[in-house]
Structure 1
Amino acid sequence: MGKMGEKLDIDFVVSTGDNFYDNGLRSVHDLAFEESFTDIYTANSLQKQWYSVLGNHDYRGDAEAQLSPLLTKIDTRWLCLRSFIVNAELAEIIFVDTTPFVKSYFQDPEDHIYDWRGINPRKHYIANLLKDVECALRESNAKWKIVVGHHAIKSVGHHGDTKELATHLLPILKANNVDFYMNGHDHCLEHISDTESPIQFLTSGAGSKAWRGDVKQLNREGLKFFYDGQGFMSVQLTQSNAEIAFYDVDGKILHRWNAFKQFGDHSSI
């Protein structure tokens, strides 16, 4: 990542959640913050702003610790909020807190204890979040509209589709001309084109642990790329072009895809 970050002269880094595996942080004083973040991403090119969302594993610890400005004092790169918007000039990136959407974490948590402070009542939280996302997308004049969440809307990986997001979030994305939905959760790299809209579903969840051979419905319609090893993704944007690239751990490009825009229209190759 450091080498590619230097080559591409990146502006910032996006983390798609499960920032601290396996059970988040214990507190703002947890040494895992520095051991798994500050001491790992040491390349000069990665000393830029990091934007992070919470994953389901982050909710198994002290979720609010990751949201604390005290962590930013430890490492100024760190910014993690439940849901927020980054205006990156050419693009507006809307980060969505997807973990509360998933019913099973509430109804069947197994042996896990989730930190639901600030979430309950769940239905009220989700309704307000969806309203905010819809309003932000509707009012956006950005050339590119990008939504980032931890859970996949569409995936052929271990977890598969997140039906709650497909039901409640996806219609809002379609209605508001979102270009890309980016997520983690499944420990793989994926590119799936929506068959009913221009939306591209991009999974980048292979930054640490990868699940070899854990694939569902590999021949699914719209699947452009799947890789069950470790790696990461880059996004380069101009007024008229977006280039998405997926890399393995050595920086080898595994898949590259371009989208073009002319006067607000979508086209791709």
Structure 2
Amino acid sequence: MAIPYKNSRTLCFFLILSFGLCLVITSAELERFEHPTKEDGSLSFLVLGDWGRRGAFNQSQVAFQMGKVGEKLDIDFVVSTGDNFYDNGLASEHDTAFEESFTKIYTAKSLQKQWYSVLGNHDYRGDAEAQLSPLLRKIDSRWTCLRSFIVNTELAEIFFVDTSPLVNKYFTNTEDHTYDWRGITSRKDYIATLLKDVELALKKSSAKWKIVVGHHAIRSVGHHGDTEELIKQLLPILQANDVDFYMNGHDHCLEHISDIESPIQFLTSGAGSKAWRGDIKGLNKEGLNFFYDGQGFMSVQLNPTDAEIAFYDVFGKVLHRSHSSKQLHPSI
């Protein structure tokens, strides 16, 4: 049932979904999903990227450890940083790879929560529209994948950004791969609108924690390294709007880098399956706190004053922890 909601700017409709979620559809802004925190006001979730290989390359083992950590932390949902299905996304919305790489792999009880996913460059090599299809949510109601959107939990707002269209080489090196840009008729207009929408949403946000998720790294010492287009176009927006964390995949590793010009922490979780590339760039990089070249995932625990980030390997061992604090402002 659609419940109309009206504010001073636009007319919205709330569509009730499974897991008590509410999808806010607007005509001019990023779509928003309302996801409640726990009763004590805290929030916890897992972050995973670059995973869909029908269980191969230790994907199943990572999934098993995710289930154990998810149960321990009583997670609220899972964030996927893209490259959801290898090597070339899904062939169609009926592609059996969806169930073989997702439904049949992440079977632990604790992982039967909503999964919020963005598209990676490998997803654009297939039928990108398939991953956005409502049919997949009928096959597995956990699946939520849009190009760009917002998850609002009151405590935190998570801004999911479609980063692949910003990367120049996917439009110039067309001999290597074919990309599905059907939803992007004008790249220039698409990017301009996306960046404007993200900036506006960040400025309007009053959340205690602001988190941005994209597929590509802004800062990385892994195989792909820094993404110059994001440094030029997206990073200034994040720095100007008090973003706490930027989370990404793309590099098949786990890493934590601190921005030297702002409080932003760059967190890479792209180790959901195939990893161990072995070509590390600049381990003396300024701001580098942690780097691991193997498989694993990340957890996030938030409350009004503290954020706890942890990275786990394929055996469930904690490799690195990071703690951030905020002061509570007394009410006036």
Instruction: Tell me the TM-score normalized by structure 2.
Output: 0.79
Which stretches in structure 1 are left out of the alignment for 5+ residues? 265-269
Q: Could you say which residue in structure 2 is the equivalent of 1:81?
A: 146
1:65 to 126, 130, 147: 130
1:37 to 71, 95, 102: 102
Q: Could you tell me whether the CA contact under 8 Å between 2:81 and 2:117 is conserved in 1?
A: yes
2:325 to 249, 260, 268: 260
Tell me if 1:249 matches 2:314. Answer: yes
Higher RCO, 1 vs 2 (CA within 8 Å, ≥6 residues apart): 2
For residues 240 and 166 of structure 2, the distance between their equivalents in structure 1, rounded to whole angstroms, comes to 20
Any idea what SS the aligned residue of 2:83 has? coil
Q: Could you say which residue in structure 2 is the equivalent of 1:221?
A: 286
Considering only CA atoms, is the larger Rg found in Structure 1 or Structure 2? 2
Tell me if 1:10 matches 2:41. Answer: no
Q: Could you tell me whether the CA contact under 8 Å between 1:214 and 1:228 is conserved in 2?
A: no
Any idea what SS the aligned residue of 1:229 has? coil
Deviation at 1:211, TM superposition (A): 2.6
1:147 to 196, 203, 212: 212
For residues 241 and 18 of structure 1, the distance between their equivalents in structure 2, rounded to whole angstroms, comes to 30
Any idea what SS the aligned residue of 2:223 has? coil
Instruction: Tell me the TM-score normalized by structure 1.
Output: 0.97
Any idea what SS the aligned residue of 1:33 has? helix
Q: Could you say which residue in structure 1 is the equivalent of 2:297?
A: 232
For residues 155 and 107 of structure 1, the distance between their equivalents in structure 2, rounded to whole angstroms, comes to 23
For residues 240 and 16 of structure 1, the distance between their equivalents in structure 2, rounded to whole angstroms, comes to 25
Which stretches in structure 2 are left out of the alignment for 5+ residues? 1-65
For residues 101 and 110 of structure 1, the distance between their equivalents in structure 2, rounded to whole angstroms, comes to 19
Deviation at 1:111, TM superposition (A): 2.5
Deviation at 1:212, TM superposition (A): 3.8
Q: CA RMSD in A?
A: 0.8
Deviation at 1:213, TM superposition (A): 1.9
Question: Hey, which bits of structure 1, 4+ residues long, moved more than 6 A?
Answer: none
Deviation at 1:46, TM superposition (A): 0.2
For residues 120 and 161 of structure 1, the distance between their equivalents in structure 2, rounded to whole angstroms, comes to 27
Q: Could you say which residue in structure 2 is the equivalent of 1:105?
A: 170
Cα deviation 1:168-187 (Å, max 9, x = unaligned): 00000000000000000000
Cα deviation 1:132-183 (Å, max 9, x = unaligned): 0000000000000000000000000000000000000000000000000000
Deviation at 1:92, TM superposition (A): 0.1
Tell me if 1:179 matches 2:228. Answer: no
For residues 314 and 98 of structure 2, the distance between their equivalents in structure 1, rounded to whole angstroms, comes to 22
* Fraction of identical pairs, as percent: 81
Tell me if 1:131 matches 2:207. Answer: no
Tell me if 1:55 matches 2:55. Answer: no
The one-letter amino acid paired with 1:244 is I
Q: Could you tell me whether the CA contact under 8 Å between 1:245 and 1:253 is conserved in 2?
A: yes
Any idea what SS the aligned residue of 1:262 has? coil
